[in-house]
């Protein structure tokens, strides 16, 4: 049985009495590549923040690598790409290399690496060689997103959480990014949770689907989803077809 990376049991989250997640149960195992989909306000970002220990649950429990997320020590095993690109001030005086090196903080805090080699590798991988000394505010939206992706990948994490990673990428870069994720998942057995609105394309790259709408509506393989009569009646067979046709 593969290692359990995340386990949620009856997880609920409420903000000011408003229920955002309710009775969520699932297990993510090593090597899973999960497409996390759901409508706006369905709790996708809240769920991944719970996984990381950024938000506390109001009921139930969630574990990350066997510990409560806030207590998990080996943070260098995690790569995280936040949802919004505009979280930083575009006038912030910081270079591409400085931003990427932040991805190695957990590794450095564990005394494992100074990170120069890893930074060089990821800069080359994401085609950022000519941009390394540029200020982040001088880059286009797509270039900035590549830098933030590089920050999430630089420590070669075992578990990657990516919240809408490709919204600003052009189709070519987007393709090579998904190829890279596929390679990480296949060759290095990296576990991936990919939050996306691309419900029609999710089957192209992920191996499992989690459909969330405050609770888990479906979690399993695409074959199971595509042949499920329950899901056909829940989504309508046309929507089911849209999700399944590229798988």
Q: Which residues pair with 59 in a beta bridge?
A: 12
By CB under 8 A, residue 108 contacts other proteins: yes
- Specify the residue, 101 or 240, whose C-beta has the smaller distance to other proteins: 101
Q: Does 245 bind other proteins (CB under 8 A)?
A: no
Among 79-87, 181-189, 209-217, 218-226, the segment contacting other proteins (CB under 8 A): 79-87
> Residue 147 in contact with residue 136, Cβ under 8 Å?
yes
CA distance 37 to 195: 6
Tell me how many degrees the CA angle 171-141-82 measures, rounded to the nearest 5.
Answer: 90
Contacting other proteins (CB under 8 A), which of 10, 138, 183, 186?
Answer: 138
Among residues 56, 109, 112, 245, the one that binds other proteins under rule CB under 8 A? 109
Our finding on whether 146 is near other proteins (CB under 8 A) is no
Note whether 195 and 164 are within 8 A (CB): yes
Of the candidate residues 52, 147, 193, 194, the single one contacting other proteins (CB under 8 A):
52
Does 89 interact with other proteins (rule: CB under 8 A)?
yes
Question: By CB under 8 A, is residue 106 in contact with other proteins?
Answer: yes
Q: In the structure encoding, which two tokens stand for residue 222, read together?
A: 């695409």
By C-beta, is 44 or 75 nearer to other proteins? 75
| Binding of residue 72 to other proteins (CB under 8 A) | yes
Spatial separation of the C-alpha atoms in residues 103 and 120, rounded to whole Å: 13
Number of shown-chain residues binding other proteins (CB under 8 A): 30
Contacts with 8 (C-beta within 8 Å, 6 or more apart), sequence order: 24, 25, 26, 27, 50, 60, 61, 62
Among 18-26, 95-103, 118-126, 199-207, which window interacts with other proteins (CB under 8 A)? 95-103
């Amino acid at each position: 049985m593969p290692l359990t990376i995340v386990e949620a049991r009856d997880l609920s989250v409420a903000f000011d009495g408003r229920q955002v997640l309710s009775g969520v149960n699932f297990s993510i195992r090593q090597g899973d590549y999960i497409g996390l989909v759901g409508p706006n306000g369905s709790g996708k970002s809240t769920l991944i923040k719970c996984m990381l220990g950024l938000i506390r649950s109001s009921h139930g429990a969630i574990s990350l690598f066997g510990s409560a997320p806030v207590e998990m020590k080996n943070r260098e095993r995690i790569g995280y790409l936040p949802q919004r690109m505009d979280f930083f001030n575009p006038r912030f005086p910081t270079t591409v290399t400085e931003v990427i090196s932040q991805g190695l903080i957990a590794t450095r805090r564990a005394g494992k690496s100074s990170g120069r080699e890893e930074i060089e590798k990821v800069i080359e991988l994401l085609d950022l060689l000519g941009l390394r000394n540029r200020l982040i505010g001088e880059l286009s939206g797509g270039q900035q997103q590549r830098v933030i992706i590089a920050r999430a990948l630089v420590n070669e994490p075992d578990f990657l959480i990516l919240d809408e990673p490709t919204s600003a990428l052009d189709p070519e870069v987007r393709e090579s990014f998904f190829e890279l994720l596929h390679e990480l998942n296949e060759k290095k057995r990296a576990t991936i949770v990919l939050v996306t609105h691309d419900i029609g394309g999710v089957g192209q790259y992920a191996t499992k689907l989690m459909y969330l709408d405050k609770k888990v509506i479906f979690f399993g393989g695409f074959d199971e989803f595509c042949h499920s009569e329950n899901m056909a009646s829940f989504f309508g067979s046309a929507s089911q077809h849209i999700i399944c046709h590229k798988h």
